[in-house]
Amino acid sequence: MARQRVRQRATIGVLGKAITRRARSRCELCEARDDLRLFELDPFPAEPDEGRVLLLCGRCRDWLENERIEPVEAHFLSGAVWSELAVVRLAAGRMLLAGDDGEDVWIADALEACNIDPATRELRAEAQG
As a whole number, mean pLDDT of residues 11-30 equals: 89
Using an 8 Å Cβ cutoff, are 32 and 61 in contact? no
Residue 36 predicted with pLDDT over 90: yes
Look up residue 103 and give its amino acid. E
Could you say which DSSP state residue 107 is in?
H
Where residue 10 falls among pLDDT bands split at 50, 70, 90? low
H/E element holding 122? strand 122-123
Q: Mean pLDDT of all residues in the chain?
A: 88
Q: Is 56 helix (H, G, I), strand (E, B) or coil?
A: strand
pTM: 0.86
